[in-house]
Amino acid sequence: MREILVVSFILLSTLATASEPNPILPQITIDTTFTLPTGGQTWTPLTGADLQNALTNSAPGDIILLTPGAVYSLQSLGRHFHYPQKANPNNQWIYLASSPYVTQTTCPVSPPGTRVNPAKEEVCMGQIVAYDVNTALMLDPGANYLRIVGVEIYTTSTHGEDPNHTPWPINGWTYNLITGQELNNITLDRVYIHGSDAEDIQEGFETYDGSTYIAVVDSEISDIHLYAVESQAFLTYASLGPFKLDNNRLSASGENLMFGGAGAHQPPPYNTQVPSDITITNNLLDHPLSWIQYTTGAKPYKWVLKNNAECKSCQRVLFDQNTMQNNWQSGQGGAAVVLTPRTSQSGNTAVVDNITFSNNILQNVVSGFSTISGDNACGTPQYPDCTNPGESKEVKIYNNLITFWDPTLTGGSANIGIGFAGGCPTWSTCSGPFNYDGTTDWVFQHNTMVAANNNSPDDCKFSIYFSLPANTRWPPKGSATHNVWILDNALCRQPIGDDGAQGTKGLDNNSDDGLKGYMADPSSVGPRFFGNIMFVPNGNTVQTWPASNLATTTAFTFDSYGDVLTPVWNGNNTSDGAQAGYNYPQ
402-448: pLDDT as tens digits? 999 999 999 999 999 999 886 554 434 444 444 456 788 999 999 99
Element (H, E) at 11: none
Reduced to 3 states, what is the DSSP secondary structure of residue 201? strand
121-171: pLDDT as tens digits? 999 999 999 999 999 999 999 999 999 999 999 999 988 766 555 545 567
277-334: pLDDT as tens digits? 999 999 999 999 999 999 998 887 888 899 999 999 999 999 999 999 999 999 999 9
How confident is the model at residue 432, as a pLDDT?
Answer: 47
Do residues 89 and 56 lie in contact, with contact meaning Cβ atoms separated by under 8 Å? no
19: left (phi over 0), alpha (psi -120 to 50) or beta: alpha
Instruction: State the pTM of this model.
Output: 0.93
367: left (phi over 0), alpha (psi -120 to 50) or beta: beta
Give the span between the Cα atoms of 233 and 206, in whole angstroms. Answer: 8
Give the span between the Cα atoms of 156 and 131, in whole angstroms. Answer: 5
The secondary structure of residue 556, as a DSSP letter, is P
Average pLDDT score over the chain: 88
**Main-chain phi, psi angles of 507, to 5 degrees:** -75, -35
Q: What share of the chain is helix, strand, coil (3-state, %, to 5)?
A: 10, 35, 55
Over residues 189-208, the mean pLDDT reads 94
* Calculated CA dihedral for residues 45, 47, 48, 52, nearest 10 degrees: -30
DSSP 459-515: TTSEEEEEEPPTT--SSPSS-SEEEEEEES-EESS--EEGGG--HHHHH--EETTEE
CB-neighbour burial class of residue 31 (10 A; exposed 0-12, middle 13-18, buried 19+): exposed
Give the span between the Cα atoms of 453 and 456, in whole angstroms. Answer: 7
How confident is the model at residue 515, as a pLDDT?
Answer: 53
Over residues 56-63, the mean pLDDT reads 98
Give the span between the Cα atoms of 60 and 91, in whole angstroms. Answer: 8
Give the span between the Cα atoms of 198 and 171, in whole angstroms. Answer: 5
**Main-chain phi, psi angles of 525, to 5 degrees:** -80, -10
479 has pLDDT over 80: no
**Main-chain phi, psi angles of 49, to 5 degrees:** -60, -40
Give the span between the Cα atoms of 488 and 491, in whole angstroms. Answer: 9
**Higher-pLDDT residue of 577, 18:** 577
User: How long, in residues, is the chain?
Assistant: 586
Do residues 313 and 350 lie in contact, with contact meaning Cβ atoms separated by under 8 Å? yes
Do residues 525 and 545 lie in contact, with contact meaning Cβ atoms separated by under 8 Å? no
Beta bridge partners of 137: 81, 178
pLDDT confidence band for 4 (50 / 70 / 90): very low
Q: Which sequence spans correspond to the domains of the chain? A: 1-26+309-586, 30-241
How confident is the model at residue 529, as a pLDDT?
Answer: 93
How confident is the model at residue 526, as a pLDDT?
Answer: 77
Give the span between the Cα atoms of 340 and 338, in whole angstroms. Answer: 6
How confident is the model at residue 473, as a pLDDT?
Answer: 58
- 489-507: buried (b, 16+ CB within 10 Å) or exposed (e) per residue? bbbbbbbbbbeebbbbbbb
203-259: pLDDT as tens digits? 999 999 999 999 999 999 999 998 878 899 999 999 999 999 999 999 999 999 999
